[in-house]
């Protein structure tokens, strides 16, 4: 059981459902610092999506091998990863999307609530898909693999759905992806690592290949 898991050019704007999302050619420096020096040499920046009231979602490629999404939630400092993130096992069916902004990025569809979000003390996550397996854990990092339908982040006293990352639509195939959760300082980072030329999930070897371990 598991709790868990980019950029050059001129900024642009595009309209999503409900809100104008900005495309940026800059990636936050702390996102880049998650990767080791060897990986940085092979990372190719695609773009960062600047979202109202929250940190960017950034997309990059590792050579021709992997596509990577990176997102950070601000959290209260001093809370261990094992105490910060909890897996919600309740299946409530389709999560609400009314009042949410939606846009596509690579194989994924992103839905998020517009409001600014405070630093979180507890984050609940839900996995929808097949073959979920947690296969690596230490004090600051948890990694799992899944054939993903969608991944849901909830937080706050009412456990409100805050962000959904999933396949483009109900007719799209599941996405074989490795989800990595990294707790660093006052940030909880979510990395979605997908193999570019394979329909299987990257093995745990990708952790050492990409990240500061």
Residues 35-76 have pLDDT tens digits of 999 999 999 888 899 887 889 999 999 999 999 999 999 999
* Mean per-residue pLDDT over the chain, rounded: 83
Lowest mean pLDDT among 24-28, 75-79, 199-203: 24-28
Q: Indicate the pLDDT class of residue 16, thresholds 50, 70 and 90.
A: very low
Query: Taking 90 as the threshold, does the pLDDT of residue 155 lie above it?
Result: no
18-27, 52-61, 183-192, 203-212: range with lowest mean pLDDT: 18-27
Mean pLDDT confidence for 182-195 = 96
Domain ranges in the chain are 12-210
Q: What pLDDT is recorded for position 6?
A: 22
Residues 133, 146 contacting (CB under 8 angstroms): yes
What mean pLDDT is predicted for residues 157-186? 88
| pLDDT computed for residue 157 by the predictor | 61
At 78-87, the pLDDT tens digits run: 999 999 998 8
For residues 88-94, average pLDDT:
61
Give yes or no for residue 202 having a pLDDT over 90: yes
**Higher per-residue confidence, 159 vs 148:** 148
- pTM of structure: 0.86
What are the tens digits of pLDDT across the range 95-153? 555 567 788 888 899 988 766 778 889 899 999 999 999 999 999 999 999 999 999 99
Please state the three-class secondary structure of the chain as a single string.
CCCCCCCCCCCEEEECCCCEEEEECCCCHHHHCCECHHHHCCEEEEEEEECCCCCCEEEEEECCCEEEEEEEEEECCCCCHHHHEEECCCCCCCCCCCCEEEEEECCEEEEEECCCCCCECCEEEEEEEEEEEEEEECCCEEEEEEEEEEEEEEECCCCEEEEEEEECCCCCCCEEEEEEEEEECCEEEEEEEEECCCCCCCCCHHHHHHECC
Residue 11 neighbours by CB distance under 10 Å:
13
């Amino acid at each position: 059981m598991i709790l868990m898991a980019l950029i050059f050019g001129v900024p642009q704007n595009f309209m999503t459902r409900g809100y104008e999302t900005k495309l940026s050619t800059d990636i936050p420096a702390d996102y880049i610092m998650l990767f080791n020096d060897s990986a940085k040499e092979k990372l190719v920046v695609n773009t960062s999506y600047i979202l109202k009231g929250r940190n960017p979602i950034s997309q990059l490629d590792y050579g021709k091998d992997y596509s990577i999404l990176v997102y950070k939630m601000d959290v209260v400092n001093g809370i261990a990863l094992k105490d910060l993130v909890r897996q919600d096992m309740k299946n409530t069916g389709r999560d609400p999307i009314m009042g949410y902004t939606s846009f596509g990025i690579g194989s994924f569809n992103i839905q998020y609530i517009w409001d600014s979000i405070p630093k979180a003390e507890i984050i609940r996550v839900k996995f929808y898909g097949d073959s979920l397996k947690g296969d690596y854990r230490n004090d600051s990092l948890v990694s799992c693999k899944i054939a993903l339908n969608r991944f849901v982040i909830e937080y706050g006293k009412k456990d409100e759905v805050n962000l959904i990352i999933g396949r483009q639509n109900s007719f799209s195939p599941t996405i074989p992806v490795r989800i990595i959760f990294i707790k660093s300082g006052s940030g909880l980072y979510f990395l979605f690592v997908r193999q570019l030329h394979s329909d299987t999930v990257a093995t745990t070897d990708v952790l050492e290949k990409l990240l500061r371990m």
